[in-house]
Structure 1
Amino acid sequence: MSDFSNDIPEAAKLYLSERRLDEVECIIPDLPGIARGKAVPATKFAKQEYFHLPDSIFYQTITGEWGEAAGADGFIERDMILRADLSTATAAPWTGDWTLQVIHDAFDRHGEPVPFSPRNVLKKVVQLYHDQGWEPVVAPEMEFFLVARNIDPAHDIKPMMGRSGRPAAARQAYSMTAVDEFGPVIDDIYDFAEAQGFEIDGITQEGGAGQLEINLRHGDPVKLADEVFYFKRLIREAALRHDCFATFMAKPIADEPGSAMHIHHSILDVKTGKNIFSDDDGEETPAFRHFIGGMQRHMPAAIAVLAPYVNSYRRYVKDHAAPINLEWARDNRTTGIRVPLAPPAARRVENRVAGMDCNPYLGIAASLACGYLGLMAELEPTDEFRGDAYEGDGDFPQVLGQALELFEEARDLHEVLGPEFCRVYGIVKRSEYEEFLQVISPWEREHLLLNV
C-alpha cells in the first residue's frame, strides 16, 4: 500500500499537494454512527494492509454500556479485519496537522463481510437491487441545530447566540437573514466541505431556532451515506470553532420542530439508464406504486432503525413539520411519504419519517429495504391522500419499545437487512431502552412526587 496516494480521490490529493501527510485516521462507523478506529502515522498507514478492532464495538450502546449480543461463544471480542476503502479518503481540515480520514470495511477471519457493520448492511441492500438490474439513487437532506454550549445535561438546550448578539429565533424558515446569523459557522462548513471534496446542494434556515438544513446531491447510496457520516463530524467541528454545539438529536428543544434526514429515492434500470418510476410516456409506472406500497407496508417495522432513540419519537408531533403517519401524496409535506414536483426522468419518492439521529447507513438501508420488498411483492399503495395528513391518525409506533417489538418480528425485513444484523441491533437497542427506563425524569419528580 506504499503508493496509496495514487488511489485516493482528487480532492484528497489537492488537499495534500505540496504538503507532507502526517497522520491517517482509520475509522469505521458503529451502530449509532460514531467513528471508531485509530490514528496512525502516515508512514505506518502506507505499509498497512489492514488493522484489527474487536467486534464488540458493534455491541456497545450509546451510553458506553454493552448489549449481550456476542452470540453462542460469549463475549470474547474477536478481532475483525478492517481494510481501507481508499475511495473514501478525505481531509480532516480542522486538525492541527495534515491528516486524512479513511473509512474501513469490516471482515471476519474468513474474509466474509461482518454482517452487523452498518456499511456492510447498506452494501448488502444495494447488491439486492443490483441483482435485479437496478441502480438505486438517493439524496439525503440533513437537518440540525446550532445551539449554545451545554455542558450540564440537567439544563435545557438553548439556541446559540447569533452574529447580532441575539439568540437564534424560531419560525424564520427560509430566511436569508436568519442564515446570516450563523455566517461564521456556515463559512467554516463550506470551507471544510470544499477541502473534503463534498458538494453541498444548498443550505437553508429551517423552522426551529438555530435549525439549518443541508441538501446533498443525489447519487450512490453508499457514497451518500459516507458523506452524511463525514458531514456530521465536520459540522460539529465547525460549530466548536465558534463556541457553540451542533446537534443531530431528533428533538433537542421541547417547543421547536425536530430534525429529520429526509431521503429521496429513485431507481435506474442498469441497461437503459432510465428511471423505472416513469414509462416512455412520462407516466408513473407500477414499480413507482410498488415502491410506495412497500414503504407503507414495511416502514412501521423499520421505524426502530429510522428512529433509534427514545428522543426520536418526540419529533412525531402533529403540525410540527414531522409526519405522524404513512400516507402518501404528491407535493404534500404533511404526509410521511411525499412525491416531490419533478420531471419524469427525476421522479422520486421522499421518505420524511427518518430522523437525523439515525445512522445514515442504516437509515438509508432500511428505507431502501422497504421499497425493495414492495417491488419484489408488487405491493399496491393506498389511494393518494388528499388534504392535511396531520388530521389523520398515527399509524406507526410512537415509542421505542413498541417499535422494537415490531422490528424483532419483521422476518421479511430481516432477510433483506440480514438476520445477524437484526439480531445484534435488536439486542443493543433493547439494552439502551432498558437503561433509559431506569432514569427518573424531571416531569416525574415535578408531578408525581407529592401528588400521587
Structure 2
Amino acid sequence: MPAPSADWLPAHPLVRTIRAAACDLNGVARGKRMPIPSARKVLTDGTRFPMSVLNLDIWGEDIEDSPLVFETGDRDGLLLPTERGFTPMPWLEAPTALLPLWMYHEDGRPYDGDPRHALAQVVARYAARGLRPVVAVELEFFLIDDSGRNLQVPISPRSRKRRKAAEILSIRALDAFDTFFTDLYDGCEAMEIPADTAISEAGLGQFEINLNHVDDALKAADDAWLFKMLVKGLARRHGFAASFMAKPYEDYAGSGMHAHFSVLDEAGRNIFDDGGPRGTDTLRHAIAGCLGAMHDSTLIFAPHLNSYDRLVPEAHAPSGLCWAYENRTAAIRVPSGAPAARRIEHRVSGGDVNPYLALAAILGAALNGIEDGIDPPEPITGNAYALELPRIPTDWQGAIDAFASSQVMPRIFPRQLIDNLLLTKRQEIRDMAELTDSERVDIYLDTV
C-alpha cells in the first residue's frame, strides 16, 4: 500500500498545524494536534497513543471493564499514516491539515480493534478471489439551529426566514443555504471527496449528498468519514449545526447512509451484470448473504439509542428483511438502469454509523453469500411495510444481544473488535438510561 507523500507539506506552505487522527469504533476522530516538524516525523516513524483510545464510549470515556485499560497497563499502539495522506481541514480558520492514521502492534501486525483494518480484511478476502468491490454512499444529514431549548431549522442566510416544513427535492430549500453548499462543494474538492448531487429531503432542514462510486472500498469509507467531519465543521462556521444523528425530529423521517456496490472481476467486468434487468446468480447470492447477516449486524447499522427511532414502519427506513427490484421500501434494492451498472443498494444504515464498520458488514455479508452460493427468497413487490416479514431488532438491547450471539459476525469481523464493540455498547446503554431526552440529543447531535 503506497505511503503518503512527504511532498505535500512543502507544496502547501500556508498550512500551520496538523491533526493526526484515527477513527474509533463510534466513528469519532481521536488523535493529536502537532506542529509541522512533528508531522514530518510521523510520516517516517508513526506516532503512539493507547490502544484503548479506539475503544472509548460515545462520551470519550474509557470502557470500565476493557482489558485494554488497566489489565494490560493501557499500552500504546503504533499509529501509521493511511495511504490517504494529508488532507486540508477547510472548516478551521487557520490553515490546517489532517493526517489520517490507523493502528498497528509494535511488531507491525494490524490492530484488530481498528475499524479501518476490519474493512481492509474484508477487501483482502475479495482480492484473494480476484474480485474488487465498487462502492458509493448516499449521506443524509440535517441542518439545525440548536441555540435554543428546542431544535429547529436554521434561519436562511438569504431570506432571513425560517421555513418549518419538509421540502422534498426543493430547489428553494437548497438555495436558502446556497453559501453553505458552495463552501461544502469547495471543501469536498480540496479534500478530494467525490461529492455528486445534493437534494433536499423529507425532514426539516434535511439534505442528502451522493458520493460518486470508487473501486476502492477503503477510499469510499475514508470519503464518508471525512465528509461527515467536513459537513459538521463547516456548518458551525456558518452559524448552525449539521447532524448525522438518525432521528433528531420525532415526526419526520430520519437520516440514512445508503450504500451502493457492485463487484468487478480481474478483467474489470461487473459480476452482477447478466446483460438484462434480472442480474446474475452471483447478484442473488450476494443479496442472500446480506439478508442472512442483516439481523445480527443491526448493531453496526444502528449503533446508538437514537438509531432505533428511525427504524420504524412507514418512516422511509427499512424494518423487514427483504429485497426487491426498484423498491425503496425494501432493505435491499436492486436499482434499475444499464445492465453494466447492475448493483445492490443496502438501505438499513443510519447516518450515525461508523462508515468503515458499515461497509465491512455489508461487503463481508455479500461475500459470505457469494462464497456459499446461497439463494435469497423471491423479491417482494409492493409495500414492504404491509407484508409479514422477518424483522431486524427493534431496540438497542435486542441488537446488542443479536450481535453477541451471532455465528455470522465472527466470519466478517475480528473477535477482538466484536468484543470491544460489545463492551462499548453495554456501557453506553447503561449510562444512557440515566440521561434525559435532551441530554441524549446533546451528545448525539455533534458526535455521530
Secondary structure, counterpart of 1:335 in structure 2: coil
Q: Give the Cα separation in 2 of the matches to 1:182 and 1:203.
A: 12
* Aligned residue type for 1:28: A
Q: 2:406 aligns with which of 403, 410, 434?
A: 410
Secondary structure, counterpart of 1:256 in structure 2: coil
Secondary structure, counterpart of 1:411 in structure 2: coil
* Aligned residue type for 1:223: K
Higher alpha-carbon deviation: 39-48 or 227-236: 39-48
Q: Does 1:235 align with 2:209?
A: no
Do the aligned partners of 2:51 and 2:68 also contact (CA within 8 Å) in 1? no
Q: Does 1:40 align with 2:34?
A: yes
Partner residue, 1:24: 18
Q: Give the Cα separation in 2 of the matches to 1:266 and 1:110.
A: 35
Q: Does 1:303 align with 2:320?
A: no
**1:46-445 mapped onto 2 (5 Å cutoff):** 46-48=40-42, 49-67=45-63, 68-70=65-67, 74=71, 76-150=73-147, 155-162=149-156, 163-219=158-214, 220-269=216-265, 271-279=266-274, 284-393=279-388, 395-439=391-435
Secondary structure, counterpart of 2:282 in structure 1: helix
Q: Give the Cα separation in 1 of the matches to 2:283 and 2:405.
A: 27
* Aligned residue type for 1:244: F
Higher alpha-carbon deviation: 322-331 or 275-284: 275-284
Partner residue, 1:448: none
Higher alpha-carbon deviation: 38-47 or 158-167: 158-167
Q: Give the Cα separation in 2 of the matches to 1:156 and 1:75.
A: 44
How many residues matched?
430
Do the aligned partners of 1:205 and 1:213 also contact (CA within 8 Å) in 2? yes
- TM-fit CA distance, 1:297: 1.0
- TM-fit CA distance, 1:87: 2.8
Q: Give the Cα separation in 2 of the matches to 1:138 and 1:393.
A: 31
Partner residue, 1:450: none
Indicate how the Cα distance of structure 1 residues 86 and 374 shifts in structure 2: closer, same or farther if over 3 A, else same. Answer: closer
Indicate how the Cα distance of structure 1 residues 373 and 94 shifts in structure 2: closer, same or farther if over 3 A, else same. Answer: same
Which runs of no fewer than 5 residues in structure 2 stay unpaired?
Answer: 439-448
Higher alpha-carbon deviation: 83-92 or 243-252: 83-92
**CA distances 1:394-432 after superposition (whole Å, capped 9, x unpaired):** 611000100111111112221221111111111111111
**CA distances 1:224-265 after superposition (whole Å, capped 9, x unpaired):** 111111111111121112211001100011111100000001
* Aligned residue type for 2:340: A
- TM-fit CA distance, 1:86: 4.6
Q: TM (normalized to structure 2)?
A: 0.91
- TM-fit CA distance, 1:281: 6.7
* Aligned residue type for 2:400: L
Higher alpha-carbon deviation: 328-337 or 73-82: 73-82
Q: Give the Cα separation in 2 of the matches to 1:237 and 1:158.
A: 19
Secondary structure, counterpart of 1:264 in structure 2: strand
Q: Give the Cα separation in 1 of the matches to 2:344 and 2:16.
A: 44
Q: TM (normalized to structure 1)?
A: 0.90
- TM-fit CA distance, 1:441: 5.4
Indicate how the Cα distance of structure 1 residues 75 and 312 shifts in structure 2: closer, same or farther if over 3 A, else same. Answer: farther
- TM-fit CA distance, 1:71: 5.8
Indicate how the Cα distance of structure 1 residues 211 and 89 shifts in structure 2: closer, same or farther if over 3 A, else same. Answer: same
Do the aligned partners of 2:5 and 2:85 also contact (CA within 8 Å) in 1? no
Secondary structure, counterpart of 1:97 in structure 2: coil
- TM-fit CA distance, 1:284: 1.6
Secondary structure, counterpart of 1:203 in structure 2: strand
- TM-fit CA distance, 1:332: 0.7
* Aligned residue type for 2:303: P
- TM-fit CA distance, 1:280: 5.9
Secondary structure, counterpart of 2:408 in structure 1: helix
Q: Give the Cα separation in 2 of the matches to 1:92 and 1:335.
A: 37
Q: Give the Cα separation in 1 of the matches to 2:263 and 2:10.
A: 32
Q: Give the Cα separation in 1 of the matches to 2:373 and 2:406.
A: 18
- TM-fit CA distance, 1:111: 1.0
* Aligned residue type for 1:133: G
Indicate how the Cα distance of structure 1 residues 274 and 13 shifts in structure 2: closer, same or farther if over 3 A, else same. Answer: farther
Q: Give the Cα separation in 2 of the matches to 1:211 and 1:20.
A: 35
* Aligned residue type for 2:18: V
Do the aligned partners of 2:18 and 2:34 also contact (CA within 8 Å) in 1? yes
**CA distances 1:85-117 after superposition (whole Å, capped 9, x unpaired):** 253321112333332111112001221111011
**CA distances 1:159-196 after superposition (whole Å, capped 9, x unpaired):** 22223222244331111111111112112111211222
* Aligned residue type for 1:263: A
- TM-fit CA distance, 1:331: 0.8
Secondary structure, counterpart of 1:201 in structure 2: strand
Secondary structure, counterpart of 1:184 in structure 2: helix
* Aligned residue type for 1:43: P
